[in-house]
Amino acid sequence: MAFLKLSKTRPDKYTDRALWNESWEKDMKIYETFRDKGIPDLSLGGSSPSLKSSNLDELCRDLLTLQSDVRRKAITRLATDQFAEKWADLPAEKRMDHILEALFRTCTASPDFEDFRKWCPDMTVEGLGRDPGSYMDLLGVLTDGVDGQLTVFPHPVVDAILERLRQRSPNAEVFLEMLRLGRTNFVTMVLWRVYLSFHDLDEFLRLKVTGSKKSVKETARNIQSSLKTPQQKKDFRRIRRSILEGGNICWGCGNDERLLKAGTTLLACSGCKKIDQRVLYCSRECQKNDWKVGVANNSPHKQVCGKPWAADSENSAPRAPLAAPRAPGAPQNTFMPNISPRRQPITSERMVVPQIIPPADPEFRRSPALQYQIRLLTKKPDVFPDYTLVMDHPKPDMGISVPDPQVATYFICARTRAFRNGDPASVHTMFTMLKRAAAMLAPPTYSLKKQLEKEFNVDLDQAAGQEWPSPIGAELESAVDIVCLSQRSPVMVQ
């Protein structure tokens, strides 16, 4: 049996998405047959495409970047706008509409992207939309991942098929690994585009166009179909025409080089040029504006210069750290001017910087709100607040430090235990140490109790009666090292 020969003739997804999706989901029922009756004798049906391991390396790097971006943005949103609760409250029909939108946008991302859908039987409108937990569970797998390590989405039948094909075609290992990465890429994109659809956000892509003019035209058609406003479509037609005709355009304003004043030449960004990416500007003003604030709701260029391009959602969080630094000249301690500063950082060459955030125990799953907290605490080198009070948007978050070194040491011990296993007594100890500062500094609508309960999934009223064992030995020594890492203000508006 040739391997997964699914129907190639489908209704036009641009004119009838529902019928197109129905065709796909009908074909995907073959996986139910494999599950119930066993996997037949599959083969690749001829020689597999010629691929090199270097092709996989590039795909894997792009996928790691994508997952890191999606993870950071998803954690931020899950922690700050109650997305999980809002998703569960939606009627099933509305959830399925968002799933269909995400599948359409994913399959139109590039000419060959739709073909990877046949390896994603778990990406169905009914399966992801009917039960709100199905989508949130998969999104949780992604947010629980670690930056720099590929997060995969196991599927028993898909994994068994790929293993069977590997046994029958040992020389096709690179090709089969490409299929695994393609599935991972497809699932990651669907998960993120569901979120974008839910919040009615568009996605702006920096395009790295390669291949024949025919493939470029097909890619352009797919992208243009997803644009909404007449102005977006008009701008894209100008960019596409410039690409196909071999012209150059300014990334800052979109002007074609041939329409500029005689003698004006577009200048290339030197950082991007080093990795064979062309980013061109017609003037110093366009370059400075893109460098500082970005264009078309994209990340500022200073955050992506010299890095492979990845997708950024139009209204999503930028790649930059989520908090702004303290304004130059602002006082370090506006609220507590008489509090003594901490000790100077340890400067011994033999000192090993401690693990500020401990690994989680296997049985403890960190909530998106807690993952967001951890990112806030570690987002800047040499700046380590003890905790961050997370404010409602658009108010800035507030990083705070316990000013007394001895009290701070005990706080860090409690924080480390709570980060490791969610210990309720440790969370309550943190609450006791932070609540006075929170009451003084945060607005009246802020609740430290609610924040900690959400982050650690504990009931602080019940935890109040639990005994918290005092730290000793190595635990105290590690906490002291963390306390002395840097000299910090007790209050940092982030």
Three-class SS of 385-410 = CCEEECCCCCCCCEEECCCCHHHHHH
Lowest-pLDDT range of 152-166, 272-286, 314-328: 314-328
pLDDT at 396: 83
pLDDT tens for each residue of 472-488: 888 888 888 888 775 54
Q: Would you say 303 and 290 are in contact if contact means Cβ atoms under 8 Å apart? A: no
Q: Would you say 6 and 45 are in contact if contact means Cβ atoms under 8 Å apart? A: no
Q: Would you say 79 and 369 are in contact if contact means Cβ atoms under 8 Å apart? A: yes
Strand partners, 388: 399
CA 146 to chain centre: 11
Domain boundaries, the chain: 17-200, 224-313, 368-493
Task: Decide if pLDDT at 235 tops 60.
Answer: no
- Rounded to whole angstroms, what are the CA distances from 373 to 72, 120, 381, 457, 483? 12, 33, 16, 14, 18
pTM attached to this predicted model: 0.59
Residue 456: pLDDT band by 50, 70, 90 thresholds? very high
Cα dihedral: 431, 433, 439, 443 (round 10): -60
Residue 189: pLDDT band by 50, 70, 90 thresholds? very high
pLDDT tens for each residue of 198-225: 988 755 444 344 444 455 455 555 555 5
Residue 117's closest CA among 125, 107, 102, 127?
107
Tokens, residue 305: 């210069």
Q: What is the mean pLDDT of the segment spanning 176-187?
A: 91
- Higher pLDDT among residues 215 and 33, named by residue: 33
pLDDT tens for each residue of 76-129: 777 777 788 889 999 999 999 999 999 998 998 776 788 899 999 999 999 999
pLDDT at 426: 95
